[in-house]
Amino acid sequence: MTLKGKILLATSALLILLAGALGYAISPTAMPSLAAVIAGLAMLLPVAIVWPVGGLFGAVFLRHSLDVFSDYKIAIPFTTIDINLAAGLSILVLLACLIYFLNSNLSFKNIPLNKYWLLFIIGISLSLPLAQLPLTALQEWLKVIVSFCLFVVGAFYFGLKEHREWLEKLILCALIIPLIIALYQIVTSSGLIGFGLPSRAFGTYAHPNSLAFNLVLGLALLFYFWRKSLKYKKTIVAILLGGLVMLLFTYSRAGLISLLGLALIVGLLEYRAVTLKIAGTLVIIYLLFFPVNDWLKKSYQIDLQNNQLIARFTKAEEDYNSLDWRTALWHNSLQKISQRPLLGWGYGMFGQTLGPQNNEVDEPESHNDYVRLWVETGSLGLASYILLQLGIMWVLFKKWRSYEKRTYQKLQFAILLGILVAILIQSLSDNILHTTSLQWSWLLLLGASLAEPWAFSMSKK
């Protein structure tokens, strides 16, 4: 198939998928939307076979729009197994990666961070024989393998400058459909209802936090484009501000805190003086907010916390605070950890090990990747994950330090360090390892950035 034919087939598939996702958002019960998505997936399969990288492009783009179809299952012929569309897409991605590897001259020793990845995969694999539900454990394990494969593809294919630029644009373009749906949810108040809030935008993701976390990654890339671009600076600024507003309407405190962590890391590494001034100003504003609000209530009967957006980020009452039930869940996890401290209860088994039938908290997810790994894979699995993240952090820091000031390469690695810190913060309150839309984009970008270095002097631009 010619390149033109490949592009035409991939574009046709994505248009069908776009139509399906938009149709579902407007009318969730409309079966034609689901049929359109399945048709798009079917069209992506030949693309993945004849043009693996094109299939990966389509898959990454599509993954951000699939969570709305999570309730629909695909039955595997001649078995009793059924999988959702996201799992089907993961199989497609794994197939495309394997085809790419077979057609490439890859060597394990040339993979960045290969020893850290190997330790992590071994660390979680040791717990698999202990899993109560082996098939579920295998599915969760395959998610990690797919993520690793995407990291490798990022390093060996997207490491080329022109390919990496396409990847960065793809990650941003993949947010278009979720953001269109999120805007529709904001305007029509049709988002997620709960925690005393009228409507939280979640786009096409399973939860508002997932939209917020993907937005943080997108905002980081947009900032990089803004610093690098000679044209369209005003347009990029407008998109950045729109993204920040959208982030606020997710009402995600973890998303906002992780964005602040990202900004702090990038600022301290690249813009230290102005960052310290801004950080100090924000701290003073936050500390003054409460006495000023008390004065307004007493003097003018004006309570700023009547605004639900402000209340979400400043109140600690039960309706606005999810820390209490999270803390209770983590406390209950300690008992299970003490029973199997070394290898845990099996990767992917947190819900079965500490589900609602075993404790008073009606919540089968850990909402903390570190607690989850400790329960599921024991101390060995948790230690291997922490080592992997520390290895990534150290390599990124060395890359950042190796470049002269005022180069786009140095800024790029400062932003990557900021994104890593943001993800580590997000992992304290959510299941980021489950959020494959974010994992795929992040690991492709990380692998591409750890490939052959490139730099452009800001002074030359």
CA distances from 40 to 89, 92, 100, 137 (A): 11, 12, 21, 28
**Prediction pTM value:** 0.88
**Mean pLDDT, the chain, as a whole number?**
83
| Residue pair 186/201 in contact by the 8 Å Cβ criterion | yes
pLDDT, one tens digit per residue, over 363-396 is 568 889 999 999 999 999 999 999 999 999 999 9
- φ, ψ for residue 84, nearest 5 deg: -85, 175
Taking a C-beta distance cutoff of 8 angstroms, is the pair 119, 388 a contact?
A: yes
| 325: CB partners within 8 A, 6+ apart | 361, 363
**Burial class of residue 430 (count of CB atoms within 10 Å of its CB; 0-12, 13-18, 19+):** buried
Alpha helices in 316-368 (DSSP H): 323-339, 350-353
pLDDT tops 60 at residue 330: yes
Residues 437 and 67: beta-carbon distance below 8 Å: yes
Q: Which of 36, 453, 431 is nearest to 205 (CA)?
A: 431
Around 372, how many Cα atoms within 13 Å sit in the side-chain half-sphere?
A: 26
Q: Show me where the domains of the chain are located.
A: 1-104
What pLDDT does residue 426 have?
Answer: 96
- 57 and 158 in contact (C-beta within 8 Å)? no
Over residues 400-404, mean pLDDT: 91
Nearest to 157 by CA among 51, 41, 228, 64: 51
Report residue 201 CA to chain centroid gap.
16
Is residue 181 within 8 A of residue 21, CB to CB? The reply is yes
Give per-residue pLDDT as tens, 269-278: 999 999 999 9
Distances in Å between the Cα of 282 and the Cα atoms of 152, 333, 415, 435, 441 are: 40, 36, 21, 30, 31
Query: Distances in Å between the alpha carbon of 53 and those of 152, 167, 172, 228?
Result: 12, 11, 18, 26
Angle at 156 between CA 152 and CA 159, to 5 degrees: 110
Percent of the chain with pLDDT over 90: 50
Burial pattern 297-320, b for ≥16 Cβ within 10 A else e, equals eeeeeeeebeebeebbbeeeeeeb
How is residue 346 written in tokens? Answer: 């099996």
Determine which of 86-100, 223-237, 382-396 has the lowest per-residue pLDDT on average: 86-100
Q: Is 84 helix (H, G, I), strand (E, B) or coil?
A: strand
Q: Give pLDDT tens digits for 144-163.
A: 999 999 999 998 887 777 77
